[in-house]
Amino acid sequence: MTSEKITAAAAGTWTLGDLTVNRIGFGAMRLTGSAAFNLGAPSERDRSIAVLRRAIELGVNHIDTAAFYFSSLRSANELINSALAPYADDLVIATKVGPFRNYAGEWSTSARPDDLRGHVEENLRQLGRDHLDVVYLRRMGQDSIAEYFGALAELREEGLVRHLAISDVEPRHLAEAQEIAPVVSVQNRFGLDSSSPETDDMLRICGEQGIAFVPFFAIAGDAGPQGATAAHGDEVLAIANAHDASPAQIRLAWSLAQGPHVLGIPGTGNPDHLTENVATGAIRLTEDELVRLNELHRKAG
């Protein structure tokens, strides 16, 4: 498959509240090389900036980031600001709050609800913006998210946040949040060989309610934050060969095929991988291929 001329528009679009994005976006975590995420050394700064600018050239208008994506050498938000400001009118930047790292990079306990204003303001400063397009509350094991989500809803009322979203949640948390304010997106770990009954239910519920579902580690599989898995079964390899595509592309294409509300945010510091990820939006899996891959997912679950 020739990838160089395929743009993010090939995957189609979805609307987050009132913000329309191409279904393939970009995840900024891997730009930092943070040891806390087991990502190894970061890309060269100039290369990371070039990757971000190339993403925009390829039609990417949805970037996923967080203030806690940083290492001793790199901050994802600072790279985004340096590469892309002044921002295009159609660029949607989604951030996450909830987890907390001190300036030495050490993880601390989960933030309190009254800490979240500071987290939002930190993202605003780093990105050089007067509001955040989408803010995810990343649940850190709390049984209830009501107080936390309520704190973000107050910031939405003040105009610091445009739309709210939630991450690493179960259906009951979505219902709890919706009693407080609208939810435009849910971000959970989900992939061909990575899921749970709760996440499968969440995928379905989001589709029924018109809420975006954004898998993280959709390509990585069991490798998680360490990068794309190399453990591809015969079915994945055979389907990749049939499409003249990489196994990683087939994994991402399968996740996108789960519904028009599913968005991709594959991350990379490699310009070739970026082009490949974006080109995945042009892959159309056959019904037979989807049945075979769905069966793999069922067995993994």
In angstroms, rounded to a whole number, what is the distance separating the alpha carbons of residues 298 and 301? 5
69 carries an active-site annotation: yes
In contact, 251 and 221? CB cutoff 8 Å: yes
Who's near 213: CB < 8 A, 6+ residues apart? 185, 186, 187, 188, 190, 202, 203, 206, 207, 258, 259, 261, 262, 263
Closest by alpha carbon to 285, among 230, 228, 237, 242? 242
136 sits in which H/E element: strand 132-138
In angstroms, rounded to a whole number, what is the distance separating the alpha carbons of residues 38 and 43? 14
In angstroms, rounded to a whole number, what is the distance separating the alpha carbons of residues 65 and 96? 7
Distance between alpha carbon 264 and the CA centroid of its chain, in Å? 6
Q: 69, 87, 103, 136: which is the annotated catalytic residue? A: 69
In angstroms, rounded to a whole number, what is the distance separating the alpha carbons of residues 199 and 297? 12
Closest by alpha carbon to 98, among 33, 164, 196? 164
Q: Which residues are catalytic?
A: 69
